[in-house]
Structure 1
């Protein structure tokens, strides 16, 4: 599972943890600590593991005291939740801290909100907020990743520099899809949405993706990921004639409930041989349709057809299939 482990790399840099013990009272007088060159790593600040004691805001306050934030290029927000107490600071406090500190991070280019593992907090339980406040505060960002969708707010906006936007969820509300679809991202080359399941607020339908599939507001888009979705077959049917597909270099439809009907719709639609990569891993495809995909697209297109542990269950005559990451 993608959220089984913390990030090891982000923004093209290895991730380095700001030591939590530096926020403890006994280290209040510390003025420095050993660390790599500030600009050479992605800095992670947050509560990691079961024995974490400091609040996220305390950790962040110590971070800005001890690290030359003017050289930070990538920043990762880890958990703000007290795992043992099952409590958390309001996420708004986390977002407000970052917005208030925007002038201290002139070189920040990559920002990840919610590097929280499944053990720490199920993805469907992660509470977010109005994360677009961060895009407004950091106009030079080129990569922005959000994990979790409870209370996630994403009104439409314009961002001139953003190149990569990823929202990882077990269920993405249609209101968020609408906000993304109505936004203007002239530099965006990579868009990845995990649509999830209605069981966890993933109520978006294909019609909600219309502006994304048209691509008018995404003139630079080269990679599109519509992943982890219960409506993967319907998405494939829409993609078969979607204008945006013709200028993509890679298409990611993995982690969801993709069956032969969706794959056949892709094969029967516009040509896909211009793609460099088509990722369909975690799927419910038959051997016959896999062969058809290989015959039609290989070796021109790098195909990932790994079923990835996807299993069909039957009970009382009903067939059950699941996305890779729900709860």
Structure 2
């Protein structure tokens, strides 16, 4: 699976694309009623992203904007968004109401997820201390220097390969208000070089006192992640545990069931998995009678077996 749709909403507001250059500007929505998507063309762009953002700031009352989606920037497959970050930080005084920001909302026709060039995104969190939601797509060149952010409630990092340095940076950050953490760990083929041990600061929950939704998904090492989660202190306070989209087999699911009780959860999401029917049934019998919603949809998880017996299994989103 690849990314085929742009974000439909952000901060519970419907996404609305700011018109491109030369497009007649019809009556625009109220500035605080939508999540504004500002984009440029990845290929042969007639306008840079920073120029589009400048038009946006001239056209829309940015003092009322609550959610902003950074879409494609020119040559995203070859250029990182340093200029985008610089432009956003330069405009922070013009965005006093901004509470949600997503960087890199691109679909596969624009740039495959693992080809999106990124940069250190921690300066955006430092520059917007009132942000409540932050998301980023693309792991190539992605950085996340440890930060303290008192307001952030939701953090989403979507990649086909999440660098271990980013995992460790997030784990070292003080995020006392964070309720929702979603990390797509990916595969080594696309830079996902983290190990289960890198997740320990997150799984301890020491810096995440309000975490209720934890997603560690899309991972080639999903079994090792599940085994680490099985004994993780943070799990006791979770409402939703999401280990979906990865290469989860009977080994990982068995470790999860053999660990601490999960019957307090509202939902366990394991969709896109490689479990046997017997293990699927064990998971259901262990949790559904307690009222836990269990997602065991296999989605597009299909094994490939070579003549020599080698079995290939894949994460949901790679390239």
User: Does residue 173 in structure 1 map to residue 166 in structure 2?
Assistant: no
Deviates more, 1:73-82 or 1:108-117: 73-82
Q: For 2:81 and 2:160, locate their aligned partners in 1 and report how far apart those are by CA, in whole Å.
A: 19
User: Does residue 222 in structure 1 map to residue 215 in structure 2?
Assistant: no
Q: For 1:12 and 1:52, locate their aligned partners in 2 and report how far apart those are by CA, in whole Å.
A: 30
- Cα–Cα, structure 1 residues 255 and 269, in superposed 2: closer, same or farther, change >3 Å? same
CA contact (8 A) 2:42 2:75 kept: no
Q: Please give the secondary structure, in 2, of the residue aligned with 1:76.
A: strand
Q: CA deviation at 1:11?
A: 1.0
- Equivalent residue for 2:138? 148
- Cα–Cα, structure 1 residues 232 and 87, in superposed 2: closer, same or farther, change >3 Å? closer
- Cα–Cα, structure 1 residues 2 and 297, in superposed 2: closer, same or farther, change >3 Å? farther
User: Does residue 53 in structure 1 map to residue 46 in structure 2?
Assistant: yes
Map Cα deviations across residues 95-134 of structure 1 (whole Å, 9 max, x no partner). Answer: 1000110000000000000000012101111111111110
Give the unaligned 5+ runs of structure 2: none
Q: Scaled by the length of structure 1, what TM-score is found?
A: 0.94
Q: CA deviation at 1:317?
A: 2.0
Q: CA deviation at 1:322?
A: 0.5
Aligned residue among 111, 115, 132 for 2:105: 115
Aligned residue among 56, 61, 69 for 1:63: 56
Q: CA deviation at 1:21?
A: 2.3
Q: Please give the secondary structure, in 1, of the residue aligned with 2:236.
A: helix
- Equivalent residue for 1:314? 305
Q: For 1:65 and 1:2, locate their aligned partners in 2 and report how far apart those are by CA, in whole Å.
A: 35
- Equivalent residue for 1:5? 5
Q: For 2:218 and 2:261, locate their aligned partners in 1 and report how far apart those are by CA, in whole Å.
A: 24
Q: For 1:33 and 1:173, locate their aligned partners in 2 and report how far apart those are by CA, in whole Å.
A: 43
Runs of 4+ aligned structure 1 residues displaced above 6 Å come to none
Map Cα deviations across residues 146-185 of structure 1 (whole Å, 9 max, x no partner). Answer: 0001111111110000000010000001000010000000
- Equivalent residue for 1:73? 66
CA contact (8 A) 2:40 2:73 kept: yes
- Equivalent residue for 2:154? 164
Q: For 1:118 and 1:303, locate their aligned partners in 2 and report how far apart those are by CA, in whole Å.
A: 30
Q: For 2:230 and 2:214, locate their aligned partners in 1 and report how far apart those are by CA, in whole Å.
A: 14
Map Cα deviations across residues 218-247 of structure 1 (whole Å, 9 max, x no partner). Answer: 000000000100111011111111100000
CA contact (8 A) 1:20 1:52 kept: no
Q: For 2:42 and 2:34, locate their aligned partners in 1 and report how far apart those are by CA, in whole Å.
A: 21
- Equivalent residue for 1:96? 86
Q: CA deviation at 1:49?
A: 8.0
Q: How many correspondences in the alignment?
A: 317
CA contact (8 A) 2:42 2:72 kept: no
Q: For 1:48 and 1:281, locate their aligned partners in 2 and report how far apart those are by CA, in whole Å.
A: 34
- Cα–Cα, structure 1 residues 244 and 2, in superposed 2: closer, same or farther, change >3 Å? farther
- Equivalent residue for 2:14? 14
Q: For 1:155 and 1:132, locate their aligned partners in 2 and report how far apart those are by CA, in whole Å.
A: 6
User: Does residue 41 in structure 1 map to residue 34 in structure 2?
Assistant: yes
Deviates more, 1:183-192 or 1:294-303: 294-303
Q: For 1:320 and 1:226, locate their aligned partners in 2 and report how far apart those are by CA, in whole Å.
A: 21
Q: CA deviation at 1:5?
A: 0.8
Alignment RMSD? 1.6
CA contact (8 A) 2:152 2:177 kept: yes
Q: For 1:209 and 1:311, locate their aligned partners in 2 and report how far apart those are by CA, in whole Å.
A: 27
Give the unaligned 5+ runs of structure 1: none
Q: Please give the secondary structure, in 1, of the residue aligned with 2:104.
A: strand
